[in-house]
Amino acid sequence: MTTPEATTQKPSRPRSERLSATTWLWVVFWLIFLVQPVTSNITAGGGRTAGACILIAGGLLYGIQTTRIMRRMWSGRPLTTTEQSITGLVAMVMTGGMLAAAPLLGQSAFALLPYCVVVLALGSAIKVGATLALSLCAATYALSPSLTGKPLETGLLFAALASGAAAGLGAFSAARGREAEVAREDAALLRVQEERNRMARDLHDILGHSLTVITMKAELAGKLVDLDPAKAKEQIAELEQLSRSALADVRTTVSGYREMSLSGEIARARTALTDASIRADMPMSVDAVSPDLRELFAWAVREATTNVIRHSGASRCTVTIEPTRLVVADDGRGSDATPGTAAGSGNGLAGLRERAEAVGASVAVDTSDGFRLTVGAPPRNNGETR
């Protein structure tokens, strides 16, 4: 159902668009550190102006490539192999320009070094980027005396290493963020699948029992139409009531609000077994049953009595209830029943086992002498498992 807020709220832009301004602001901020080397060398004139233009070109390449990388990272998409190759090419061009400007500008040319390192660290795989960035710093440190006549300034080297480390951590964080997002999506899909399985299991249990009883009553009503029309009408009326009850159960199950009542299931089972000409020995009270096991026992009574009516050919069915144990037994065919039903491999019994595991209980089926279903749990103490 659409809420008023949902109808008035403007559609949000894609995440990459929302972060575009932030990305540009971040990139432009770090370019501020190129302003001083560029302006001072332009003011000096001569060959230094050409070197300053190289710094400007390198800064532009840094800004364009870093923006592309960061927008890609923040949109939750990793860089492709082609994009990483382009990043490497951009870093090579920037490095070449820096080394070419070094004889013209001296140590000022190496102001471009941190930007080269950041491009490599952001645009490459973590280990590859770290290796290339360290190699570039080492090569620049080694070439500085021959290109400028002076060792590489410690401040520039530190700035390059610190910038590379920060960029590497940012890339690592983005990668972990993508993995976390994928994990969240997988978990959401798993929850949806589990809910579908729960719904299918509940519908199977509800309709399996209800339709079995409805079919049996319809057959009985058909036989009584000529022999005893009054009783036939009673059976037809009960059919209508059962069908309405089954429809209500399905609706409430789909809505997610359905709760099983152990006493109600015992009453239903008693009526269904009696109508099937099976003697029903049922407990009169369920007050002693541990509260956290009552819903499980209710499902067990429903599943077991459905199997008894469908497959057992029994004349008697007994339900025994203790605080943490339920036993449903009949004197029917047992292991001679239809394969995959009384033997304990049907869908209903599989669903019952899942419910039992969820509350720390177990389900056992014995078909050596009739059908015997046992659902039990360790003794409870104030509703908890010891």
Single out the residue of 215, 360, 355, 358 nearest to residue 298, CA to CA. Answer: 355
Q: How high is the pLDDT of residue 254?
A: 60
What pLDDT digit, counting tens, does each position of 259-281 carry?
A: 568 888 888 888 888 888 899 99
19, 250, 280, 306 from 268: Cα distances, Å: 61, 17, 11, 11
68, 213, 286, 311 from 209: Cα distances, Å: 61, 6, 21, 13
- Interatomic CA distance for residues 126 and 123, integer angstroms: 9
Q: How high is the pLDDT of residue 339?
A: 45
- Interatomic CA distance for residues 280 and 270, integer angstroms: 6
> What b/e readout covers 149-181, taking b as 16+ CB neighbours within 10 angstroms?
eeebeeebbebbbebbeebbebbeebeeeeeee
What pLDDT digit, counting tens, does each position of 103-133 carry?
A: 988 888 898 899 999 888 888 777 888 888 8
| Assessment of whether the complete model's pTM goes beyond 0.85 | no
Query: DSSP secondary-structure letter at 345?
Result: T
Percent of the chain with pLDDT over 70: 83
Single out the residue of 316, 312, 328 nearest to residue 278, CA to CA. Answer: 316
For residue 311, name the pLDDT band (cuts at 50, 70, 90): confident
- The token pair at 207 is 């309709």
What pLDDT digit, counting tens, does each position of 82-92 carry?
A: 888 888 898 89
Region of poorest pLDDT, from 59-63, 231-235, 247-251, 255-259 = 255-259
Please enumerate in sequence order all residues whose Cβ is within 8 A of that of 171, keeping only pairs 6 or more positions apart, or say none.
73, 121, 122, 126, 129
Across the range 39-44, mean pLDDT stands at 86
Q: How high is the pLDDT of residue 13?
A: 46
Using the predicted structure, report yes or no on whether residue 317 has a pLDDT greater than 90.
yes
Single out the residue of 310, 236, 299 nearest to residue 272, CA to CA. Answer: 310
- Interatomic CA distance for residues 28 and 49, integer angstroms: 22
- Interatomic CA distance for residues 27 and 19, integer angstroms: 12
What pLDDT digit, counting tens, does each position of 180-206 carry?
A: 777 777 777 777 777 677 777 777 776
Q: How high is the pLDDT of residue 362?
A: 92
Using the predicted structure, report yes or no on whether residue 376 has a pLDDT greater than 80.
yes
- Interatomic CA distance for residues 133 and 157, integer angstroms: 11
Mean pLDDT, the chain, integer: 79
- Interatomic CA distance for residues 29 and 370, integer angstroms: 82
- The token pair at 205 is 């249990």
